[in-house]
């Protein structure tokens, strides 16, 4: 098992190395750079940049170095925790993205937990009650869930929260907590703001996940070893949850590994609609403005998240399925 | 818990002379309500199983052998259901520690909830089953030890350490090499023969009084098959277990069984001792079944006789004797009109065929 995990971590590092090279190239690829752009802008404003100043800027950002030197400077700084400075914001990238990353991660994790917490029992229920009225109702709801776009759900929930619950929607904190230090009350206020995006993101995946759960469990329930479990005299609950569900989880776990990037991009749209400071919108503008270090750092962090998600899924898969553990 | 079997039991008091009956099945109907119609898998099955003996159960594919076993174990699940019939289990209850006398208690299994507590306490402890497919009958996610121990922990009230000791003991008893290592293994790490031994250990883990062995050796090579058959016979003698041995292999029947039940399309057509089955078969179906297999000593030129026609599908009901469309001795106007009743044709020998008597099966009240 340990062997298996180490091997996976090895793959993960190789993947990240490749992503860092390709990602950096892509961000750098368009002609021009933020510095040239900036120099031009300052000139147009009538500010007179001396050649010295320009050289200082160029030197500082190493514009005259060959690309591999610049890449090396960036990546070696990155692993040491020095992510560079954003041209646009004139701030350390570190200070810009820290909190956003945290919100993104917590929204993702909470919505995944919510989606799984609903999808798995729902799928199990409808598989074990196939062709009964509740199963038909669940099926109809699932198809509705699959076909309603998430921004629409977001709008409906926002109106509902504001009109009916009298909540302040959008943003992360109510005004009085905006600058307050962290406390239990502030955390609760945060949750009150975050529940809408969490529900909206979970909504989109719950329907699909529970369909998959239902289909897989139906397959597994037809397996001989389920009858073997019954033949021991186990209760039906133990037969279903211990012997059948565990073997029906593989596809769900595999989906889990790949779902983080999807959640983050889905979140971007939602975050723009709801004005929540997650990484999505900032990453988007950073790419637009060729804000090199900011964009590249985002890319790296999102990749790390995605790859970590896959690693966790691989470990979970090995835990449920001994055949993978020893492969 | 002490329900007596319904009126049908009188009608057929055991015909197996001199045997102590452990299971009495009467008029058992099990149907599957599928999308394409109702599959009448069992259509009034009647038979007795003698205690401590091996009963062979034969018949072409689809005649309902597995469903019979599953019905008695009360493990038929949706869309299947037992729609009618009685299954009486005569279980021996030990008296006190010093009391050697044994009380026999009768339980009607069809009156119990299939997944209810009483049935669950019987299943796995007093009755267990070895399934048709050894490759898929163990859960791939748990070790062999865990799967065997699960039954022991459930029924025998011992702790984990003791349960593992017993599991290793049983594996050793079924001739598994290195049992202490095997308990830590997962099914995919074992060969087919080893898995079947593990499955047998699982079924035997609580020393059941009745074991259903559903083609336990079909998937195995001849050597392993012989070993496993020896093993079962040996165990059966040692703990006086009753075995219902389902198989297509009449050679194995001759070697293993005391009695034989022949099934056709969800009914029992003949029940007899193993000798009578082979040397004095009564039902035309039994005879053609025997003629359709090669046997030792048969001359090279002698051709095997496949039974003509195919088994009808269980979705359409056949009027009269279910075998009449394929029977070479069919009597028009009789066999295709009414269902033959049970006729005693010899010592412990019953058959359902109009060649031996005119008894008619009373109309069953199942739709
Ligand atoms: N789950 C099910 N759904 C629908 N029909 C079923 C189901 N299980 C069994 N049957 C039907 O019941 C009949 C008897 O099946 P059963 O498995 O008992 O046959 P069998 O005698 O064991 O055959 P084999 O020798 O091939 O194992 C078959 O015709 C089958 O179509
Ligand atoms: Mg079968």
Res A195: pLDDT: 82
Residues in chain B closer than 8 A to A247 (CB atoms)? 139-141
- Work out the number of other CB atoms within 10 angstroms of the CB of residue B187: 24
Q: What is the mean pLDDT of residues B297-314?
A: 63
B64 lines ligand 1 (CB under 6 A): yes
Nearest to B364 by CA among B34, B85, B109: B85
* Residue A174 DSSP one-character state: -
Once rounded to an integer, what is the mean pLDDT over residues B360-365? 67
Please, what are the domains in chain A?
A: 101-326 (1.10.3720.10)
Q: With the C-alpha atoms ordered A83, A89, A91, A97, is the resulting torsion angle positive or negative? A: negative
Report the distance separating Cα A161 and Cα A171, nearest Å: 13
The pair of three-digit structure tokens given for residue A32, joined into one six-digit string: 């021009």
Render pLDDT for B228-243 as a digit per residue (tens, 0 to 9).
888 888 888 888 899 9
Q: How far is the CA of A14 from the centre of ligand 1 (A)?
A: 52
How far does the centroid of ligand 2 lie from the alpha carbon of residue B61, in Å?
7
**For A237, nearest residue in chain B (alpha carbons):** B115
User: Which run of H or E residues covers position A88?
Assistant: none
In short, whether B264's Cβ falls inside 6 Å of ligand 1 is: no
Distance from CA of B5 to the nearest CA of A (A): 23
Mutate to test the interface with B, among A228, A236, A253, A325 (most CBs of B within 10 A): A228
Is it the case that residue A9 has pLDDT exceeding 70? yes
CB-ligand 1 contact for B57 (6 Å cutoff): no
d(CA B281, CA B272): 9
B139, pLDDT greater than 90:
yes
Residue A28 Cα to ligand 2 midpoint, Å, equals: 67
Question: Is the CB of residue B145 below 6 angstroms from any atom belonging to ligand 1?
Answer: no
Choice among A33-42, A309-318, B59-68, B177-186 with the minimum mean pLDDT: A33-42
Q: How confident is the model at residue B2 (pLDDT cuts 50, 70, 90)?
A: very low
Angle between helices A224-231 and B192-204 (to 10 degrees): 30
Judge whether A320 is closer than 8 Å to chain B, CB to CB.
yes
Is residue A183 within 8 angstroms of chain B, CB to CB? Answer: no
3-state secondary structure of B343: strand
Position B300 scores a pLDDT of 52
- pLDDT, residue A219, reads 93
Q: What is the pTM of this model?
A: 0.82
Taking the Cβ of residue A234 and every Cβ of chain B, the question of whether any pair is shorter than 8 Å is answered with yes
Interchain CB distance below 8 Å, B139 and A232: no
Res. A128: pLDDT tops 50: yes
Alpha carbons B332 and B337: distance in angstroms, whole number: 8
Segment B258-267, tens digit of pLDDT = 999 999 999 9
| C-alpha span between B70 and A248 (Å, rounded) | 24
Reading the block at residue B111, the tokens are: 């009156």
Q: Is B234 helix (H, G, I), strand (E, B) or coil?
A: helix
Cβ atoms of residues B112 and B119 within 8 Å: yes
Where residue A283 falls among pLDDT bands split at 50, 70, 90? confident
Selection from A185, A172, A192, A174 nearest residue A277 by Cα: A172
DSSP type of residue A142: H
What is the DSSP-derived secondary structure letter of residue A180?
A: S
Look at A228-237, A280-289, B349-358 and tell me which has the smallest mean pLDDT.
A280-289
**Cα of B359 from ligand 2 centre, angstroms:** 30
- Tell me which residue of B352, B126, B170 sits closest to B261, measured CA to CA: B352
> Left, alpha or beta for B306 (phi > 0: left; psi -120 to 50: alpha)?
beta
User: Distance between CA atoms of B261 and B32, rounded to whole angstroms?
Assistant: 23
With a cut of 80, say whether residue B284 has pLDDT above it.
yes
Alpha-carbon distance of A111 to A107, in angstroms, equals 6
Return d(Cα B209, Cα A73) in angstroms, integer. 77
Identify any residues that bridge with B270 across adjacent strands, giving them in sequence order: B262, B351
Place of tokens 């005649």: B63
Using the predicted structure, report yes or no on whether residue A54 has a pLDDT greater than 90: no
B116: nearest CA partner in chain A: A235
Mean pLDDT of A152-156: 83
Q: Which position has the higher pLDDT, A68 or B82?
A: B82
Minimum mean pLDDT among A132-136, B6-10, B102-106: which range?
B6-10
Q: Which residue has the higher pLDDT, A230 or A183?
A: A230
* pLDDT over 60 (residue B354): yes
Residue B245 makes CB contacts below 8 A (sequence gap 6+) with B54, B55, B56, B57, B213, B216, B252, B253, B256, B257
Assign B6 a pLDDT band (cuts: 50, 70, 90): very low
| pLDDT number for residue A183 | 80
Q: What per-residue string of b and e applies to A243-281 under the rule 16 or more CB within 10 Å gives b?
A: bbbbbbbbebbbebbebbeebbebbbbbbebbebebbbb
Q: Is A321 on the interface with B (CB under 8 A)?
A: yes
From A282, A289, A285, select the one nearest A32 (Cα to Cα): A289
How close is the nearest chain B Cα to the Cα of A247, in Å?
A: 7
pLDDT tens string B164-186: 999 999 998 888 889 999 999 99
Residue B11 has pLDDT above 50, yes or no: no
pLDDT tens column, A187-213: 888 777 788 888 888 887 888 889 999
Average pLDDT over residues B75-98: 83
Q: In what order do the strands lie in the sheet with B80-94?
A: B37-50, B21-34, B80-94, B102-108
Residues whose CB falls within 8 Å of the CB of residue B77, separated by 6 or more in sequence, listed in order: A230
Q: Do A227 and B131 touch (CB under 8 A)?
A: yes
For residue B161, the model assigns a pLDDT of 94
Which among B75, B138, B155 has the least Cβ separation from residue A225? B138
Q: Which residues contact B38 (CB under 8 A, 6 or more apart)?
A: B31, B32, B315
CA dist., res. A104 & res. B96, Å (int): 68
Task: Say how many CB pairs under 8 Å bridge A and B.
Answer: 75
pLDDT band at A33, cuts 50/70/90? low
B155 contacts in A (CB within 8 Å)? 233
How many percent of chain A have pLDDT more than 70? 92
CA distances, B259 to each of A138, B55, B62, B219 (Å) = 51, 5, 21, 24
Determine whether the interchain pair B199/A228 forms a contact, defined as Cβ–Cβ distance below 8 Å: yes
- Residue A128 makes CB contacts below 8 A (sequence gap 6+) with A217, A221, A240
User: What pLDDT, on a 0 to 100 scale, did the predictor assign at position A47?
Assistant: 65
Distance, CA of B62 to CA of B26 (rounded, Å)? 20
Q: What is the DSSP string of B281-342?
A: --SHHHHHHHHTS--TT--TTSPP-PPSS-PPPTTS--SS-TTGGG-TT--TTTTTTS-B--
Q: Is the pLDDT of residue B8 over 50?
A: no
- Residue B13 has a pLDDT of 52
Question: What is the average pLDDT value for chain B, to the nearest integer?
Answer: 84
Q: Quick check: CB of B62 below 6 Å from ligand 1?
A: yes
Residue B56 has pLDDT above 90, yes or no: yes
What does the pLDDT read at residue A326? Answer: 67
Query: Tell me, what's the pLDDT at B160?
Result: 93
Q: Is B61 in the pocket of ligand 1 (CB under 6 A)?
A: yes
Q: Which band of pLDDT confidence, cut at 50, 70 and 90, is reported for residue A289? A: confident
CB atoms closer than 10 angstroms to residue A229: 25
Integer angstrom CA distances of residue A35 from A39, A120, A160: 6, 51, 46
Contact present, B17 and B354 (Cβ < 8 Å): no
What integer pLDDT is reported at residue B244 of this predicted model? 95
With CA atoms as reference, the chain A residue closest to B200 would be A228
- CB contact under 8 Å between B139 and A235, yes or no, is no
Whether the per-residue pLDDT at B54 is higher than 90: the answer is yes
pLDDT for residue A294: 83
pLDDT at B98: 58
Q: Is A324 on the interface with B (CB under 8 A)?
A: no
For the cut 70, the answer to whether the pLDDT of residue A146 exceeds it is yes
List of chain A residues whose C-beta atoms are within 8 Å of the C-beta of residue B143? 322
By CA distance, what is A322's nearest residue in B?
A: B141
- B30 — pLDDT class (breaks 50, 70, 90): very high
A228, A233, A326 ranked by CB distance to B120: nearest: A233
Q: Which long-range contacts (CB under 8 A, 24 or more apart) does B156-162 make?
A: B156/B206
**Which atom in ligand 1 lies closest to the alpha carbon of residue B314?**
29
DSSP 8-state code for residue B357: -
Q: Exposed/middle/buried for A59, CB within 10 Å: 0-12, 13-18, 19+?
A: exposed
Q: State the ligand closest to the CA atom of B262.
A: 1
């Amino acid at each position: 098992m340990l062997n298996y995990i180490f091997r996976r971590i090895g793959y993960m590092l190789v993947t990240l190395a490749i992503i860092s090279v390709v990602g950096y190239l892509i961000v750098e690829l368009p002609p021009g750079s933020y510095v040239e752009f900036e120099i031009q802008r300052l000139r147009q404003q009538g500010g007179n940049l001396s050649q010295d100043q320009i050289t200082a800027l160029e030197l500082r950002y190493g514009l005259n170095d060959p690309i591999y030197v610049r890449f090396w400077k960036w990546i070696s700084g990155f692993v040491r925790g020095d992510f560079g400075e954003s041209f646009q914001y004139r701030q350390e990238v570190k200070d810009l993205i820290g909190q956003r990353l945290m919100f993104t991660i917590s929204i993702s994790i909470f919505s995944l937990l919510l989606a799984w917490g609903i999808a798995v029992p729902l799928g199990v229920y409808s598989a074990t009650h196939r062709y009964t009225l509740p199963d038909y109702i669940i099926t109809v709801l699932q198809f509705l869930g699959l076909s309603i776009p998430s921004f629409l759900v977001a709008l409906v929930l926002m109106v509902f929260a504001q009109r009916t619950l009298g909540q302040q929607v959008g943003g992360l904190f109510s005004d009085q907590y905006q600058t307050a230090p962290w406390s239990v009350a502030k955390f609760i206020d945060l949750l009150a703001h975050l529940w809408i995006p969490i529900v909206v993101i979970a909504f989109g995946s719950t329907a699909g996940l529970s369909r998959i759960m239902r289909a897989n469990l139906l397959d597994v329930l037809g397996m001989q070893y389920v009858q073997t479990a019954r033949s021991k005299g186990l209760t039906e609950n133990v037969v279903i949850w211990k012997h059948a569900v565990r073997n029906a989880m593989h596809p769900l776990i595999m989906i889990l590994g790949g779902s983080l990037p999807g959640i983050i991009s889905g979140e971007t749209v939602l975050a723009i609609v709801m004005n929540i400071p997650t990484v999505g919108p900032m990453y988007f503008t950073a790419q637009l403005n060729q804000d090199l270090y900011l964009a590249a750092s985002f890319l790296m962090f999102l990749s790390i998240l995605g790859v970590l998600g896959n690693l966790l899924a691989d470990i979970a898969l090995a835990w449920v399925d001994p055949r993978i553990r020893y492969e | 818990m002490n329900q007596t079997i319904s009126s049908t039991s009188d009608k057929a008091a055991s015909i197996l002379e001199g045997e102590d009956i452990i299971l009495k099945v009467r008029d058992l109907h099990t149907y599957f309500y599928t999308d394409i119609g109702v599959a009448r898998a069992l259509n009034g099955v009647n038979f007795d199983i003698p205690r401590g003996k091996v009963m062979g159960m034969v018949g072409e594919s689809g005649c309902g052998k597995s469903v019979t076993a599953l019905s008695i174990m009360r493990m038929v699940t949706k869309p299947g259901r037992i729609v009618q019939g009685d299954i009486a289990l005569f279980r021996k209850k030990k008296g006190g520690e010093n009391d050697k006398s044994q009380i026999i208690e009768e339980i009607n299994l069809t009156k119990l909830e299939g997944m209810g507590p009483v049935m669950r306490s019987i299943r796995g402890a007093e009755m267990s089953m070895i399934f048709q497919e050894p490759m898929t009958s163990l859960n791939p996610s748990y070790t062999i030890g865990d799967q065997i121990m699960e039954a022991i922990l459930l029924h025998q009230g011992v702790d984990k350490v003791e349960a593992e000791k017993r599991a290793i003991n049983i594996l050793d008893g079924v001739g598994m090499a290195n049992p202490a290592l095997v308990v830590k293994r997962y099914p995919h790490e074992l060969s087919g023969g080893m898995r079947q031994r593990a499955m047998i250990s699982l079924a035997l883990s609580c020393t059941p009084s009745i074991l259903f062995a559903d083609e336990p050796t079909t998937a195995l090579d001849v050597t392993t098959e012989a070993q496993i058959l020896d093993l079962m016979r040996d165990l059966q003698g040692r703990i006086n277990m009753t075995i219902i041995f389902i198989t297509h292999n009449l050679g194995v029947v001759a070697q293993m069984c005391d009695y034989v039940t022949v099934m056709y399309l969800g009914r029992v057509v003949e029940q007899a001792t193993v000798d009578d089955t082979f040397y004095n078969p009564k039902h035309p179906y039994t005879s053609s079944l025997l003629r359709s297999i090669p046997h030792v000593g048969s001359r090279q030129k002698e051709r095997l006789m496949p039974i003509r026609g195919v088994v009808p599908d269980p979705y359409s009901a056949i009027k009269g004797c279910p075998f009449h469309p394929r029977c070479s001795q069919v009597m028009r106007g009789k066999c295709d009109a009414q269902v033959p009743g049970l006729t005693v044709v010899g010592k412990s020998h019953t058959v359902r065929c109009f060649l031996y008597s005119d008894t008619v099966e009373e109309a069953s009240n199942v739709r």
